[in-house]
């Protein structure tokens, strides 16, 4: 639970850090589609595959004559195509009638493929249809003025500040080690930016001191453990007398290479047992060359 709370804090911190250069998203033109509709004809457009949280669509539709626009479950539409002579019985979503020029939007239901349907609203004159059919012996398409339909599809995409450094938690250390009166030193991290987050976890059978210090300071502590107290005065990333704890710190580029120092606080014999230590850092994974430009 503590770790989840800490991760939430740093997510807010990164949001504030990038506030001046947040990615900006908008609907971006993706593709165009055209069709000719006879009276009462359906045109099936794109099939949308929303995720577990649904989704949104945004299309521009232009027609020479009025049309009805709606969404239907793709499996229902597919089933209706097996009976081309019958009027399809569909459960329609976001239906709009008498449209000739509009921007059509709809929120898609969860995890259900939906197809965009556009129907010509004209009803053919039966007398004309029968008369033409008797003369030609087949359909009447060439004698009925078609409805000219144009669809422009859009996708939700980044339009500004699109290329930015991407960050991910990276595991730097995770091990169990045999306790010793001699400080355990791990040289792990060279900071890549100011305010870089670090997360440390310790679990031990005895009270421990854990500190993140410059590597040159850690080397002095290893050579002369008595210098530990004075070295700790110059770092804020430390915990004293802990046995089971996770905590976080921030390091800066100017701090130089950092080392983790771990040592029992016991003033007597150190037990022949093991301690668990883990350390992670939020590190750049993509577009890292932009770090120096921010």
Fold classification of 25-160 is: Jelly Rolls (2.60.120)
126 vs 221, more confident: 221
| Alpha carbon distance 65, 46 (integer Å) | 21
pTM more than 0.85: no
Span 182-227, pLDDT tens digits? 899 999 899 999 999 999 999 999 999 999 999 999 998 888 888 8
Would the CATH topology of 25-160 be identical to that of 166-293? yes
The domain spans of the chain are: 25-160, 166-293
Span 66-93, pLDDT tens digits? 999 999 999 999 998 888 777 678 899 9
CB 119 within 8 A of CB 99: no
Beta strands in 113-195 (DSSP E): 114-120, 147-160, 166-178, 184-189
Give me the CATH code for the 166-293 domain, please: 2.60.120
User: For residue 294, what pLDDT is reported?
Assistant: 55
With 60 as the cut, is the pLDDT of residue 6 above it?
Answer: no
User: For residue 9, what pLDDT is reported?
Assistant: 46
Beta strands in the chain (DSSP E): 24-37, 42-48, 55-73, 92-108, 114-120, 147-160, 166-178, 184-189, 196-214, 238-251, 258-264, 274-286
| Alpha carbon distance 99, 107 (integer Å) | 19
Q: What is the DSSP letter of 84?
A: T
User: For residue 18, what pLDDT is reported?
Assistant: 46
- Torsional sign, CA 85, 90, 94, 96: positive
For the purposes of burial, counting CB atoms within 10 Å of the CB of 240, is it exposed (0-12), middle (13-18) or buried (19 or more)? exposed
């Amino acid at each position: 639970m503590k770790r989840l709370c800490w991760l939430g804090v740093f997510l807010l911190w990164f949001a504030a850090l990038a506030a001046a250069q947040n990615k900006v998203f908008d609907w971006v033109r993706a593709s165009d589609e055209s069709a000719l509709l006879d009276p009462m004809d359906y045109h099936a457009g794109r099939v949308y595959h929303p995720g577990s949280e649904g989704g949104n669509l945004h299309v521009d539709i232009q027609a020479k004559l009025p049309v009805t626009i709606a969404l239907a479950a793709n499996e229902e539409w597919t089933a209706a195509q097996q009976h081309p002579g019958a009027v399809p019985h569909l459960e329609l979503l976001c239906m709009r009638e008498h449209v000739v020029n509009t921007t059509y939007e709809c929120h898609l239901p969860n995890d259900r493929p939906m197809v965009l349907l556009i129907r010509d609203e004209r009803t053919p004159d039966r007398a004309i249809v029968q008369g033409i059919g008797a003369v030609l012996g087949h359909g009447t398409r060439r004698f009925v003025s078609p409805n000219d339909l144009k669809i422009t599809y859009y996708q939700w995409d980044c339009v500004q500040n699109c290329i930015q450094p991407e960050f991910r938690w990276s595991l730097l250390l995770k091990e169990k080690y045999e306790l010793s009166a001699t400080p355990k030193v791990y040289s792990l991290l060279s900071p890549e930016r100011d305010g870089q987050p670090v997360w440390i976890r310790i679990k031990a059978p005895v009270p421990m001191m854990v500190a993140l210090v410059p590597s040159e300071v850690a080397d002095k502590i290893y050579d002369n453990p008595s210098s530990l107290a004075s070295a700790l005065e110059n770092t804020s990333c430390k915990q004293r007398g802990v046995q089971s704890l996770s905590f976080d710190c921030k390091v800066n580029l100017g701090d130089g290479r950092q080392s983790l120092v771990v040592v029992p606080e016991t003033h007597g014999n150190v037990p022949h047992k093991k301690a668990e230590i883990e350390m992670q850092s939020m590190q750049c994974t993509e577009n890292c060359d932009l770090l120096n430009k921010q």
